[in-house]
Amino acid sequence: MKIERPRGTRDFLPDEMERRRAVERVMREIAESFGYREVSTPTFEHLELFTLKSGQGIVEEIYAFRDKSGRELALRPELTAPVMRMFVNECSVMPRPLRFYYLSNCFRYERPQKGRYREFWQFGVELIGSDRPESDAEVIMLAYRILKSLNVNFKLHVGHVGLLRDVLSDVSEKDRAMRLIDKKDWEGLRALLKEEGQADIFDTVIEISEASDVEKAREVYPDFDYSYLEVLFGILEEMDVRFVPDFGIARGLDYYTGVVFEMYAEGLGAQKQVCGGGSYRLSGLFGGEDVPSTGFAIGFDRVVQVCSVEILRKPKAVVVGFGDSIRAFRVAEMLRSAGIHAIVDVMGRNVKKQLSYADSIKADFAVFAGDELERGQVRIKNLRTQEQEDVSLKDLRGYFSGFLNSGS
RNA sequence: GCCCGGAUAGGGUAGUGGUCAUCCUCUGGGACUGUGGAUCCCAGGAGCCGGGUUCGAAUCCCGGUCCGGGCCCCA
């Protein structure tokens, strides 16, 4: 019987991998241009790392298991916790701020649907050590530049959880209230506030959630220090980062302390969020010093689905041999050192079949490695233009130089 | 975890309770051992899995698996 892929996993064929690598390259280059350096953490961690961060409830949503020694482990469902664990374990004396980026697969035990898989990839950054608005500005700008460079149609919402937390300060079930606000479940919220004898703040919460700028929010709720947001929004505006203030973005977990932001793309159905981020304080939870951090995670697979990216390929040549495979391999080596991809027949095919194969794999050149070699030459046929000429082995690099880096 | 819809060669499909099944594409070979794409010929390859109904099931029923859409969740 045939073995199928496990539910929620995917195979990536060469065309798709080329596209994914091209997207990946854009993300890496932009992050590196901001001074971020790549990190990588284990695929599995102690389960406790994730329950500390997200509560016992997540055990049902992740791949958790016991190893042969009885250790409780879990495949990572996200990367912020592992990176902060790494920071606490071995980076706490490095010069701050630290700028890390990552691109890794993560695993969640959930019902797969469009844009949601059980194994998926996250690209993200963490900027560790600053609690100033400049750090939020930098991280938001970075995410924004990445999605712009990939020609994604998206909207950026930026908010601050401190504002709603402040309004809700006398509500005992604050987390539940935040979840209701996040879902915009106003009826549920009204009921909760009534239960708690806080019905009078209901209108304030709604108006804050719907406030379109700082002035509006200040009118509704003056008892909050808006200067942090003013600095942040000022930077974003000056740097041409287009966003909508959205004070209704809520997070149920209390290590999110300040700025939060999300990006939504078109064309993804129900799973339209392609990026989420904000500032948080996690390192204390993991037994380290309480260090402020800011970061984001981009849903790599979703971005691949909706972005458009240029795919650069080197020219591809098929070496046509005439039964002498050593000669063919030698010529292929020379082509490779001239910077192009060289493919040799390993099927024992005749010349017509070799050319037919070259056509079917969309090769750019056919290089005949036959009797011309005795004169130190090969015959090169450009399969795009049909032109062919004999080229000296010494001039291969020169012949192909015009075709390199031309993209396709 | 819940609701809805699907599943026939690698990909796309046709059909019927009654000889182990259509066509396209694909893959390999040949016509054709120094020039491809076309054409022709040959070959390869399939009814998701398990159970039930039936003389007989790929077809009908049930369960499971996987896929798609939505809900829950979204750290």
Supply the pLDDT for residue A407.
45
Identity of residue A247: F
Considering all nucleic acid strands, name the nucleotide whose C1' atom is nearest to the C-alpha of residue A388: B35
Helix or strand run (H / E) with residue A103: strand A98-107
Least Cα distance to A98 among A131, A75, A72, A127 occurs for A127
Measure A107 CA to B62 C1' (Å).
33
Is the CB of residue A108 inside 7 Å of nucleic acid strand B? Answer: yes
Least Cα distance to A402 among A347, A369, A365 occurs for A365
Considering all nucleic acid strands, name the nucleotide whose C1' atom is nearest to the C-alpha of residue A357: B36
Is the CB of residue A78 inside 7 Å of nucleic acid strand B? Answer: yes
Reading chain A (408 residues) residue by residue, the pLDDT tens digits are: 567 788 889 889 898 999 999 999 999 999 999 999 999 999 999 999 999 988 888 888 899 989 999 999 999 999 999 999 999 999 999 999 999 999 999 999 988 888 889 999 999 999 999 999 999 999 999 999 999 999 999 999 999 999 998 998 888 888 888 888 888 888 888 888 988 888 899 999 999 998 889 999 999 999 999 999 999 999 999 999 999 999 989 887 778 889 999 999 987 777 889 999 999 999 999 999 999 999 999 999 999 988 999 998 999 999 999 989 999 999 999 999 999 999 999 998 999 999 999 999 999 999 999 999 999 999 999 999 999 999 999 999 999 998 886 544
| CA distance linking residue A341 with residue A319, whole number of Å | 10
Handedness of CA A268, A271, A276, A282 (dihedral sign): negative
Measure A216 CA to B6 C1' (Å).
50
Residues 237-266 of A with CB under 7 A from strand B: 251-253
Is the CB of residue A388 inside 7 Å of nucleic acid strand B? Answer: yes
Measure A108 CA to B6 C1' (Å).
25
Is the CB of residue A381 inside 7 Å of nucleic acid strand B? Answer: yes
Pair A139, A294: CB distance under 8 Å: yes
Hey, is A73 helix, strand or coil? strand
Hey, is A366 helix, strand or coil? strand
Measure A18 CA to B32 C1' (Å).
36
Hey, is A44 helix, strand or coil? strand
Helix or strand run (H / E) with residue A293: strand A293-299
Six token digits for residue A108: 């969640």
Phi, psi torsion values for A80, nearest 5 degrees = -65, -45
Six token digits for residue A180: 């209701």
| CA distance linking residue A275 with residue A187, whole number of Å | 28
Helix or strand run (H / E) with residue A389: strand A388-392
- Strands A316-321 and A365-369 turn out to be parallel
Least Cα distance to A350 among A331, A370, A374 occurs for A370
Domains and CATH numbers, chain A: 14-306 (3.30.930.10), 316-401 (3.40.50.800)
| CA distance linking residue A110 with residue A191, whole number of Å | 30
Give every CB contact of residue A116 below 8 A, 6+ residues apart in sequence.
A110, A271
Measure A282 CA to B67 C1' (Å).
38
Measure A9 CA to B5 C1' (Å).
21
Least Cα distance to A295 among A12, A21, A89, A34 occurs for A34
The A316-321 sheet, strands edge to edge: A341-344, A316-321, A365-369, A377-382, A388-392
- Chain position carrying tokens 């108006």: A207
Is the CB of residue A179 inside 7 Å of nucleic acid strand B? Answer: yes
Supply the pLDDT for residue A126.
98
Looking at this predicted complex, what is its ipTM?
A: 0.86
- Nucleotides in chain B near protein beta carbons (<7 Å): 1-3, 27-30, 32-37, 49, 65-75
Is the CB of residue A351 inside 7 Å of nucleic acid strand B? Answer: yes
